[in-house]
Amino acid sequence: MKPLSTTRFEKRRQRLNWLAVTALPLLLFCCGCPFAAQEVDGTDGGTTDAANSSLATATALALSPSDDELVFTGSITGSADIDVYELGTLAPGDRLFVDVQRTSQNLDPVAAILDSREYLVAYNDDRAPDGSDLNPQLDIVIRGEQDTYYLAIVAYAGNFTTGEYEATVRVQRTVGVPATRAQVVFLDWNGGDEILVRNVGLFNLRPFSAADVGLPAEQTEAFKDRVQELVEERYAEFNMLVLNSDDQAEPSGSHSTVYFGGQSYAAFAISEQIDTFNEDPNDDAIIFIEGYRDVFNTEPTFEQLAQAVANTAAHEVGHLLGLVHTHDCDGLMDTTCYNERLLQPQEFKTSPLDESVFPFGFQDAEEILGWILGFLGIGERTP
């Protein structure tokens, strides 16, 4: 088997050889009254043990209780350098805009918004999902509790970039909490020619057969049904409707498509983007279904393979809804554990962020999905 190759995109569930671990944004700020800009020196002096490297030692930004804008500068000198800024108290319905621009050297910055629990609220690596602009930008409305919120900036993990940046932070108070919005997910088992998954590529996919995952072909229909059942279970408490290409036509309205087909030696699957707060309800993902053969220590059962494919599909849809990678073998957004762990159920839960995403913090996947989709009882889908 070929060794794992990696890309800069944090949106794939990697597949590794059996000795290794398994794994796998932008809403323009609305027009309105102009903000009064302030200049703040946010530099940490260029040291990797900077005074503002944690929430407890964050540099306070002087944002006023009314609408406000700050512009400040900082520098990142290495992979251990973290710049954390206290944004003050934000309430549900407050709008927060963050724009980070590299101003020197080869810095590839990452921006994250966290609350006082160190729980991730929003994350952006590249404002352009295709990687054409590596500067992060976030435009969000606070959906969580009134709390002290923080902006943290680091260099993208693994690239060893350094340099200076300029950051702009705007706050617009009490614009209102957006309503939750149901999501339709379409499982496409039919294949086709020149299927485009944006930011990923063009694919020629044949119709799925259970033989693609090493099962008897006569189990094809049962396998597809079981995968859908398990994906629905993973999202059972949220307002999501899962459809499939065998029983329904592709929806004419907004929906995300998950394609099944092909093979990659680098990943079990990949999604189009990490879509903060599901700003684009029409983004897609692909599950490289032929990649599930010969990657486990023992021959999986029908049920184990269905669990693995469903865990991966739920993981990729999580990216399309804005979730990032975590380090927790029981969590659906995990990107660290052995291939065999995919063969057992995983769930959305609170987990530590993976170091490929951010050097500290947690993601409460259930909370974030609730903000986006809304919580429901089973059988109450209202997309």
pLDDT of residue 310: 98
Confidence of residue 382 (pLDDT cuts 50, 70, 90): low
pLDDT of residue 9: 39
Burial class of residue 297, CB neighbours in 10 A (0-12, 13-18, 19+): exposed
pLDDT of residue 273: 95
Q: What tens digit of pLDDT does each residue of 351-365 get?
A: 999 999 999 999 999
pLDDT of residue 64: 80
pLDDT of residue 30: 33
pLDDT of residue 13: 56
Helix-strand-coil split of the chain, %, nearest 5: 15, 30, 50
Q: What tens digit of pLDDT does each residue of 136-168 get?
A: 999 999 999 999 999 999 999 988 899 999 999
Confidence of residue 289 (pLDDT cuts 50, 70, 90): very high
Least confident of 8-22, 109-123, 155-169, 337-351: 8-22
* Residue-range domains of the chain with CATH: 12-25+180-373 (3.40.390), 37-172 (2.60.120.380)
Q: What is the DSSP annotation of 286-311?
A: EE-GGGGSS-SSSPPPHHHHHHHHHH
Mean pLDDT for 340-344 is 97
Rounded to 10 degrees, the C-alpha dihedral 190/194/197/201 comes to 130
For residue 142, the Cα-to-chain-centroid distance in whole angstroms is 18
* Average pLDDT of every residue of the chain: 87
Q: What is the DSSP letter of 125?
A: S
pLDDT of residue 107: 96
Helices 302-320, 220-234: axis angle to 10 degrees equals: 50
pTM of the model: 0.88
